[in-house]
Amino acid sequence: MMATLKKIWHWIDDRSGITEALQPLLKHPVPPDARWSYVFGSATLFCFLLQIVTGIGLALLYQPSSADAYASLNYIMHKAPLGRILRGIHYWGASGMMIMMGVHMIRVYLTAAYKFPREMQWISGVFLLVLVAAMGFTGQVLRWDDNGVWSAIVAAEQLGRFPLIGKPLAHLLMGGTTLGAKSLSRFFSYHVFLFPGFLFLFIGLHVYLVIRNGISEPPKVGRPVDPRNYRSWYKKMLREKGQPFFPFSAWRDVVFAVATITVIVVLAVYPGAPEVTRPPDPSMLHTSPRPDWYLLWVFALFALMPAQIESFAIVIVPPLVLFLLLALPFIRNRGERHPLRRPWAIAGVACVVTFVSSLLYIGSKSPWAANFEARELPPSIVASSLPEVKEGSRLFHEKACAYCHKVKGYGGDVGPDLTHVARRLDARQLRIRIINGGHKMPAYGSSLTTEELRKIVAFLKTRK
Ligand code: HEC
């Protein structure tokens, strides 16, 4: 029996050359002290493989038409055997992939592994970053619930503001000027054919380059990269101290990948993927898109930005960030690699991480969404016993002002906190603001009676 199997394997191996092809992959020598900090790239790859497998499973059950998508997702979640777990793995796998990719990128940046001769590795990595973000975004739209759809609409609107190419590009992406029935089948094609195709291509390039240029050795203070002699130095170092990737270094990748996948599967069982919310309803005006966390911070950023600079920022910031990322290895591809000799790199990473995590924190409270659960102000906060002030505070809640404005911690965050508004505005100014509204504030001129307006202003005048 064994002999027969061996024979079959020999035949396959001889005719196809599998061992020969895998040899360089498995046996390429790696620097001896490349340890645990090197596992994140391969963990990203393992997450990707997990996404492919679960993605194929989901695609078998999913209906990419706007009439059926929502129902087919509910079918996956509640009827299909193992459907809930399949979707859970795909959902948490996406998050896992984002995290691993982010950490991998930070590690590469901090240890300046992008320097000579690995510039192209970094550049292919930036393309992978963009592609993975695009996968996350299109994946959310496929959910076809109101979060996914509204996020796409908001993003499309922002894209449309890009001069010249914005509108045609949005049109191309969505198959129309706005998100509609046609858009879903397009997003489906992007998510399962187009972007994965490019992902395979760039992952192939990325891995090929790792083998061609070798894994960067851990940096050492006082050992700068000099393109004139780096390659010969690296070769000599590998000849003397290098170890074959398999099994010497590969076991760490395997252990870490297994741990990562275990965490993903556990999360897929409990708590599982979030339920799909409501089906999208184009007549809903007061919607508040809440994309998944890895895009939430972008939404938070644009929601917090003053409206005047928003259009400007959309045009400038993303291309600038992309340009800087691509230019990084050319700005300085030689010199010290150790983070201790590159304090600005540490400061930069700290800034970006703080910036993104505080935006995530803010985003998790979605200040751009009216707070429909705002409660009425308790009498202790209404600092007056005058009946018109009391009436005014009641109207403040009844007329939905509290959905958007906070008074002493009660209410929403869309508009400014009005706890001390009377210090800024007098009665006349208050009336003007309320009657005319403003950016993201409805004009109440036609929906309040003079009496109601007077009472609300009387209430606000007490907020000193
Ligand atoms: C949908 C959300 C929303 C609702 C509802 C809303 N507002 Fe506003 N409000 C805002 C926003 C946003 C601003 C800031 C507008 C700007 O700067 O252009 C604002 C500004 C104001 C200001 C000026 C504050 C300042 O410090 O300059 C006042 C006063 C005000 N609103 C009162 C009210 C009252 C009273 C009501 C209810 C009758 C109300 N708002 C309902 C969102 C809202």
Residues 97-107 have pLDDT tens digits of: 999 999 999 99
Tell me which residue has its CA closest to atom 5 in ligand 1: 401
How many Å is the maximal CA-CA distance in the chain?
98
* C-alpha–C-alpha distance, residues 28 and 212, integer Å: 9
Distance of CA 136 to the CA centre of its chain: 7
Q: Which CATH architecture has domain 387-461?
A: Orthogonal Bundle (1.10)
Structural element, H or E, at residue 424: helix 421-424
List, as one string, the DSSP characters of 299-360: HHHHHHS-HHHHHHHHHHHHHHHHHHHHHHHHH--SB--SGGG-HHHHHHHHHHHHHHHHHH
Please give the C-alpha separations between residue 55 and each of 48, 49, 185, 454, in angstroms, as whole numbers: 10, 10, 16, 59
Pocket test residue of 309, 391, 404 for ligand 1, highest count of atoms within 8 A of CB: 404
- What confidence category does residue 285 fall into, taking pLDDT thresholds of 50, 70 and 90? very low
- Percent pLDDT > 70 in the chain is 95
pLDDT recorded at residue 176:
73
pLDDT value at 445 more than 60: yes
Q: What is the rounded average pLDDT of the residues 35-51?
A: 93
Ligand 1 pocket, residue 405 CB under 6 Å: yes
Ligand 1 pocket, residue 403 CB under 6 Å: yes
Tell me which residue has its CA closest to atom 15 in ligand 1: 438
Ligand 1 pocket, residue 459 CB under 6 Å: no
On average, the pLDDT of the chain sits at 87
Ligand 1 pocket, residue 186 CB under 6 Å: no
Tell me which residue has its CA closest to atom 11 in ligand 1: 415
pLDDT value at 234 more than 90: yes
Backbone angles phi, psi at 31, to 5 degrees: -60, 140
Tell me which residue has its CA closest to atom 34 in ligand 1: 401
**What residue spans in the chain does CATH classification 1.20.810.10 cover?**
23-364
Q: How far is the CA of 453 from the centre of ligand 1 (A)?
A: 13
Ligand 1 pocket, residue 415 CB under 6 Å: yes
First to last CA, the chain: 90
- What confidence category does residue 369 fall into, taking pLDDT thresholds of 50, 70 and 90? low
Q: Say what the pTM is.
A: 0.78
The more confidently predicted of residues 286 and 251 is: 251
Tell me which residue has its CA closest to atom 6 in ligand 1: 401
Tell me which residue has its CA closest to atom 37 in ligand 1: 401
Q: 3-class SS at 447?
A: coil
Please give the C-alpha separations between residue 418 and each of 35, 196, 310, 395, 414, in angstroms, as whole numbers: 55, 49, 24, 15, 11
Ligand 1 pocket, residue 401 CB under 6 Å: yes
Pocket test residue of 371, 372, 441, 444 for ligand 1, highest count of atoms within 8 A of CB: 441
pLDDT value at 346 more than 90: yes
Which of 396, 368, 366, 363 has the alpha carbon at shortest distance from 381? 396
Ligand 1 pocket, residue 179 CB under 6 Å: no
Pocket test residue of 396, 401, 410 for ligand 1, highest count of atoms within 8 A of CB: 401
Q: What is the rounded average pLDDT of the residues 46-53?
A: 96
Report the topology of domain 23-364. Cytochrome Bc1 Complex; Chain C (1.20.810)
Ligand 1 pocket, residue 458 CB under 6 Å: no
Q: How far is the CA of 455 from the centre of ligand 1 (A)?
A: 16
**Closest approach atom of ligand 1 to CA 400:** 5
pLDDT value at 281 more than 70: no
pLDDT value at 49 more than 60: yes
405: tokens are 């404005």
- Percent pLDDT > 90 in the chain is 46
pLDDT recorded at residue 25:
81
Tell me if the bond preceding 379 is cis, omega within 30° of 0: no
Q: How far is the CA of 436 from the centre of ligand 1 (A)?
A: 10
**Closest approach atom of ligand 1 to CA 444:** 38
Tell me which residue has its CA closest to atom 25 in ligand 1: 416
* C-alpha–C-alpha distance, residues 19 and 241, integer Å: 25
pLDDT recorded at residue 370:
65
**What residue spans in the chain does CATH classification 1.10.760.10 cover?**
387-461
Ligand 1 pocket, residue 395 CB under 6 Å: no
Q: What is the rounded average pLDDT of the residues 42-53?
A: 96
- What confidence category does residue 288 fall into, taking pLDDT thresholds of 50, 70 and 90? low
Q: How far is the CA of 405 from the centre of ligand 1 (A)?
A: 7
Tell me which residue has its CA closest to atom 23 in ligand 1: 433
Please give the C-alpha separations between residue 455 and each of 348, 411, 447, 449, 458, in angstroms, as whole numbers: 51, 19, 14, 10, 5
Ligand 1 pocket, residue 416 CB under 6 Å: yes
